[in-house]
Every structure is written in C-alpha cells, then in structure tokens.
Amino acid sequence: MKPQSHFYLRSFLPFLYWIPKVTTKTIQSDLIAAFTNAAIALPQSVAFAAIAGLPPEYGLFTAMVPSVFAAFFGSSMVMISGPTTAISAVIFSALSGRYEIGSPAFIEATLTLTFIVGLIQLFFGIAKLGKLATFVSHSVMVGFTAAAAILIAMSQLSGALGVQVKGGGSILERVNSLWPLLDQTNWRAVLITVTTLTVTALMTRYAKRLPCFLIALIAGTGLSILLDATAHDINTIEALPRILPIFSIPSLSLDEIQNLSEIAIVLALIGLLEAVAIGRAFALKTETSFNANQEVIGQGISNLAGGLFQAYPSSGSFTRSGLNYEAGAKTPFSAIFSCVFLLIILLVIAPLLAYIPIPAMSGLIIFVAFRLINFSEIKHFIHSSKSETTIILITLFVGVFVELELSLFLGVILSLMFFIQRTMRPHFAIGAPDPSLPDRSFRDSKLYQLNECPQLLSLRFNGPLYFGSIEYLELGFKYIAQERPQQKTILINLKGAGDIDLSGIDLLIAEANRRRKIGGDLYVVMRAPFLVSRIRKLGLLAFLGEDHQFESKRTAIATLVPKLDKAICMSCPHTIFNECQNNKGIQS
C-alpha cells in the first residue's frame, strides 16, 4: 500500500487499526465499563439537555449517536463523546435570545447548529487546522467556563425556588425577572432542591464509583412523592415522546447558516479543545497513541451524524471518559456498548422520568455548575500571573454580563495581545564568567555582581528578533552604549532568539556599523543549523563575515580575547577570562 493511501485510510477509517486488537478479554472489560457508564449517562444527558434549553430526549440522542461515530472515527481508546456542560451553556445563552426556549424553532436551530459545527470541525481536520483550538488558552477556558457556570446556576434558580419566570436574557435580566417573585417561593421546591444537591455532593465525595447523579435524582423524586409536590404547583419533567432518534435533515438555508455561523465557530472550537485535551490526558494514562488531528476529524463526523439524527453539538465528556477509564475500558467498543445499554435502560425506565420534579433537576444542575468553576486554578493565576488573571476576569465579566460566546473571542484576542506584548520585549542580559563556579559559567553580571571585561561585552537574547521587538532592542542598545562606552566589541548570544526576521538582521547590521565606527566590532554565537542558515540567507554573515559567527561562547572568547587591546588588558585589575592571562603576560 502506498504511504499516501495509507495516510488517508488511517485518517478516515481509523477503526481498521484498533479492531484487530479486540479480544474476548477486552470485550469483557468494555462491557463492564459500558454498563457503569450508561447508568451515569441517563441523568447526565437529561440534565445537560435542560441546561441547553432542550427537551430531555435530545440530551439522550446526543449521548447515543455522536458517541458511536466518535468511537469509530476518533483517535482515543477510552474517551466517550456526548453532551457537555460548556457546549450546553453556550447553546442556551446564544439561542435563548433569538428563539423561545424549547420551541420547535429553538430545536430546529440547535439541530442545524450541530450540522454546521460538524462541517467546520471536519474542514479543520481535513485541512489539518485542528491546532487552531490551541489559541484558546487555558486561562480563557477557566474564565469562560466560570462564566458559563454562573449562567447555568442562574438559569436554574426559578426551578429551584418553584416560581415561573421567562427564560433567557442576560444575568441582570434574569435577576430582575426573579426578584419580584421571591415572595412566591415554594418551600417544597427549595427542600427538594437542597436535598438533591446535598445527596449529589455527598455521593460524589464518598461514593464516586456509584451512579451518583441517578441516586440523587431518585432521592429528590422520592421526597417529592412524600411531599405530594405535584399537587402544590411543582412541575415534573415531561414524559419522553420517544427514546430513539429519527433521521431528519436540518434546515440549511443561507440565512440560517449566516445567522448561526458565529455561534457554530465558537462551539466548534470549544468542542475541539475539550476533545483534544481529554484525548491527550487519557492517552498518557493508558499509554496509547493519540492523534489530535484524527480526533478533530472524528468529532466533525460525529457532529455531522448527530445533526442528522436529532442530537445537539457534542464533544468529549470528561466525566463519562473518566468513568470509562476507571471502570477498565480497553477499546472504543466500550462507548458503543454504553449506547446499547443506555437504550436498554430507557426501554425499562423511560416512563419513570416523568416523575422527576424540576427542582430535583435544578439541584443537580446547580451542583454541576458549581463544579465547573476551577477555584484552585483561579487562585493560582491570581498569585502567579497578572496577565492571565486579567484574561480570566475580563472573559468572566463579558461572559456573564454581555455575551457568553463573545467572551471566548475576546479572551483569545487578549491572550494573543499579551503574547505579542511579551515577544515585543525579549529578555536580554549582560553576562560574565562567575569565578566561584568550577567551570566559570557565564551568569547575569548585574544580578550576581560580577566583574566585566572593560573591552568585550557579552550579551544574551532570549526572545525573537523580529519587527515587533526592534524598537525595544534599539533602546536597549542605546542604553548599553551610554552606560558602557569603553566596551566597543560586543558578542551577542542568539541561542535563545528562536527566530529572526529581516528587521532583526537590519538592527544587528546597524549596531555592527556603529561599533565598527568607534573601533569595535559585533560577533554572534549560535548553533542551530536552521538559524545559521537563516541569518546567512538574510545577509547578516555576508556583512559581518563568516568568521564573526561562533557555535559556542568559549570558542568565541578564545578567538576574540587575543584581539583585544593588550594595553587595556595590562591595566585591568581583574582576570575576567582565562585567556586574559596571555594578554597580561602571565604564565599559566
């Protein structure tokens, strides 16, 4: 088979490479993991559908259809795809202001969104653009997720208090709608919410291996029956009209695509970021290979299929994937078996879902929302990085008070701005040998108060020399020239430069010209072949001379010190370099 054919076969039919590894033993492990997973998938899917503003059956469809296709076409051996909290929150936030929540128009827009998200992700995968998701930095996701969590919790307060308010709108609009109705709070609803919330918290802390969400919902439902809550104006989840999705081609009119394109891009990026992050994490745990771009293709195909079978946008589920791994899953068959078990469970207990009170579901969702806020990460950023803290706070503020999907774009822009700002101010330090060290290694002369050579200046750059950093470096050269006029020869260590463009070359040529006019010169140290080739191609070595480039500082010092003014060396009270002894006429 030709290598190119092998590549395309691997990209679009990856299951051909793991299916031969399936054995009776792996199937047994996958069946056990699948049954455990199906137990948590049921309440989780219903809860996530409620977060998205959709009827419960759409959460179940999303837990079944995309996970099968992601298992066949993705790259992870244990990750399970399905509905996620962040994606559900974005759907609710983005569509609730345009359509009536839960209406046919809202549902149709969501299914169309799934198909568009799939197309975008598949395009990213085929064009190998999956790495675009990495532009969504960790700090952006922390702020974005915290904003989503707050919006999720706020959306559930009416159900938790047993009052009826209009859904959607900003957080301020929701507070204004809820505030006048606080005196109508139903104490039974509050008690059911608190009970469900408490049971969920205790179960997830002390009995993680059990289906905690399902047990919590049973507890809330049991209390509701004891209190005869339905007779006291407490609503329950609607009965499922069906448990199997049907084939349905979403609306793909040009107007609808334009209307949903911005939200679709946000959802596509969030979905890819979640899936790739989860896939990489579990690849390390399972010691298996993981192809990020293959996972992007898998997620695209799974969402395309989901859009055709009444699923809303999905991605890798950390909760279900973690449970899958802990339960001993070995191959993607565990995800497929999980869908089969979920269908069997639904056939048995689907009628019972209609007894679950809305406050119990609200309590469960509020718990999920609280767990989304990564307080330890926020605290860590506050103590370690002002720029990352700024990104988190602005992303959080915009997400809560303006628009959730806008906060993601703004967070990415802020991250890039801070990154560019850092590259515009590359670190450079003047170095000198430290005689207290056995090998007299070079260290920052100012920081360690080391004596410098009065004629030769050693300078190290850490950061790119490009058009954005030129102004800062020009000021640095001017400052050095004013502070050290006698150090006419400069040795610049470019090993930490990373990259250099024509503007950087022009800067070094201008500095070399200035130093040659005062009787000095400029030399560079670099070893990386690609960087040497680059400065040669851009003309620096043609100007300086090939003998002005060295692979190491020690070689450079050994070559340059003998060329220094020996009269100045004789009057120097210090022996900076070992080579200074020869210039002073000292016998070594």
User: Average of pLDDT values for 549-571?
Assistant: 90
**In this predicted structure, what is the pLDDT of residue 521?**
95
What backbone torsions phi and psi does residue 426 show, to the nearest 5 degrees? -65, 145
Residue 402 neighbours by CB under 8 Å, 6+ apart: 170
CATH topology of domain 427-583: Transcription Regulator spoIIAA (3.30.750)
**In this predicted structure, what is the pLDDT of residue 515?**
94
DSSP secondary structure letter of residue 292? H
**In this predicted structure, what is the pLDDT of residue 583?**
65
| pLDDT tens column, 221-232 | 999 999 998 888
DSSP secondary structure letter of residue 548? G
Domain boundaries, the chain: 25-128+180-239+273-373, 427-583
Q: How many CB atoms lie within 10 A of CB 380?
A: 14
Q: Is the pLDDT of residue 37 over 80?
A: yes
The encoded tokens of residue 71 equal 């298992």
Q: Is the pLDDT of residue 324 over 60?
A: yes
What is the residue type of 469? Answer: S
The encoded tokens of residue 520 equal 């000095």
Confidence of residue 255 (pLDDT cuts 50, 70, 90): confident
Give me the percent of the chain exceeding a pLDDT of 90.
35
Residue 93 neighbours by CB under 8 Å, 6+ apart: 148, 151, 403, 404, 405
Q: What count of Cα atoms within 13 Å lies in the side-chain half-sphere of residue 249?
A: 2
**In this predicted structure, what is the pLDDT of residue 1?**
46
Q: Is the pLDDT of residue 393 over 80?
A: yes
Q: Is the pLDDT of residue 290 over 90?
A: no
User: Average of pLDDT values for 342-354?
Assistant: 84
Beta strands in 63-143 (DSSP E): 81-82
What is the residue type of 367? Answer: F
**In this predicted structure, what is the pLDDT of residue 123?**
92
Q: Is the pLDDT of residue 45 over 60?
A: yes
Confidence of residue 180 (pLDDT cuts 50, 70, 90): confident
- CB-CB contact of 324 with 37 (8 Å): yes
Q: Which residues on adjacent β-strands are paired with residue 236? A: 357
Enter the pTM of the model. Answer: 0.74
Instruction: Give the distance, in angstroms, between the CA of residue 386 and the centroid of all CA atoms in the same chain.
Output: 19
Q: Is the pLDDT of residue 66 over 90?
A: yes
**In this predicted structure, what is the pLDDT of residue 588?**
45
DSSP secondary structure letter of residue 461? E
Question: Lowest-confidence range among 8-17, 90-99, 340-349?
Answer: 8-17
Q: Give the C-alpha distances (Å, rounded to integers) separating 254 from 103, 108, 112, 261.
A: 21, 15, 12, 10
Distance (Å, rounded) from C-alpha 166 to C-alpha 309?
Answer: 29
Distance (Å, rounded) from C-alpha 372 to C-alpha 243?
Answer: 29
Distance (Å, rounded) from C-alpha 240 to C-alpha 220?
Answer: 19
Instruction: Answer left, alpha or beta for residue 125, where phi above 0 means left and psi between -120 and 50 means alpha.
Output: alpha
Q: Is the pLDDT of residue 570 over 90?
A: no
Q: Is the pLDDT of residue 422 over 60?
A: yes
Output 218 or 40, whichever has higher pLDDT: 218
Residue 550 neighbours by CB under 8 Å, 6+ apart: 523, 524, 525, 556, 559
| pLDDT tens column, 525-555 | 998 888 899 999 999 999 999 999 999 988 9
| pLDDT tens column, 148-159 | 888 878 888 888
**In this predicted structure, what is the pLDDT of residue 559?**
92
State the chain's mean pLDDT as an integer: 86
Q: How many CB atoms lie within 10 A of CB 551?
A: 13
Confidence of residue 489 (pLDDT cuts 50, 70, 90): very high
| pLDDT tens column, 191-215 | 999 999 999 899 888 887 777 878 8
What backbone torsions phi and psi does residue 309 show, to the nearest 5 degrees? -130, 40
**In this predicted structure, what is the pLDDT of residue 409?**
82
| pLDDT tens column, 308-318 | 999 999 998 87
Q: Is the pLDDT of residue 8 over 80?
A: no
Angle of CA points 450, 454, 460, to nearest 5°: 60
333: enclosing H helix or E strand: helix 333-349
Closest CA relative to residue 194, chosen from 44, 360, 353 = 360
Output 119 or 241, whichever has higher pLDDT: 119
Distance (Å, rounded) from C-alpha 267 to C-alpha 110?
Answer: 11
User: Average of pLDDT values for 498-520?
Assistant: 93
Distance (Å, rounded) from C-alpha 449 to C-alpha 443?
Answer: 10
